[in-house]
């Protein structure tokens, strides 16, 4: 498994930040700049956006990627070595309590509920 250099956002994580010239600038009907200004504005916008993004990623991208990698490694470590074993131990301990309370409910609450159900099942309503 390698890095896909063509599709860099296969899960559409950043679909909300797709910014095109037409999403930012638009001239309404009835007022227009000269065609050469509009075409060059497009070129300046795209060039500025791409150049700035490339400079920022060149200067900061590797460090930020390393930081996020370490962050997710820490989260994974915490889940593998702390949370999951704790939840498993808690589940084992609570299994005993579950049996105890289940037995109490079966002995005390279930007969009362069944009696009430039998009592109320005999009620008949007629419209007259």
Asked if residue 12 belongs to a domain, the reply is no
pLDDT for 7-20, tens place per residue?
888 888 888 888 89
Q: What is the predicted pLDDT for the residue at 111?
A: 92
Answer yes or no: is pLDDT of 95 > 80: yes
Tokens at 107, concatenated? 């002995």
| 101 within domain boundaries | yes
Q: Is residue 29 part of a domain?
A: yes
Residue 8 lies inside a defined structural domain of this protein: no
Task: Please give the Cα distance from 114 to 107 (Å, whole number).
Answer: 12
For residue 3, is it within any domain? Answer: no
3-state secondary structure of 1: coil
Q: Would the pTM of this model clear 0.75, i.e. be above it?
A: no
| Nearest CA among 27, 25, 73, 66 for reference residue 49 | 25
In a domain, 55, yes or no: yes
**Confidence at 123, pLDDT banded by 50, 70, 90:** confident
Domain of 27 in residue numbering reads as 18-121
Rounded to whole angstroms, the Cα distance separating 84 from 12 reads 30
Q: Please indicate, yes or no, if residue 47 is contained in any of the structural domains.
A: yes
Average pLDDT over residues 84-106: 94
- When divided into structural domains, the chain yields a total of 1
What pLDDT digit, counting tens, does each position of 22-53 carry?
889 999 999 999 999 999 999 999 999 999 99
Residue 5 has pLDDT above 90, yes or no: no
Residues in the chain: 128
CA 69 to CA 94: how far, in whole Å?
35
9, part of any domain: no
What's the pLDDT score for residue 15? 83
């Amino acid at each position: 498994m390698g890095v896909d250099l063509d599709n860099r956002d296969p899960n559409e994580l950043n679909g909300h930040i797709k910014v095109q010239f037409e999403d930012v600038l638009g001239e309404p009907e009835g007022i227009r700049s000269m065609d050469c200004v509009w075409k060059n504005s497009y070129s300046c916008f795209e060039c500025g956006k791409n150049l700035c993004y490339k400079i920022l990623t060149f200067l900061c991208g590797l460090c930020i990627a390393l930081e996020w990698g370490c962050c997710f490694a820490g989260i994974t470590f915490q889940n593998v070595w702390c949370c999951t074993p704790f939840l498993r131990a808690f589940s084992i301990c609570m299994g005993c309590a579950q049996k105890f309370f289940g037995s109490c409910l079966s002995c005390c609450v279930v007969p009362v509920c069944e009696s009430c159900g039998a009592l109320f099942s005999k009620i008949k309503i007629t419209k007259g």
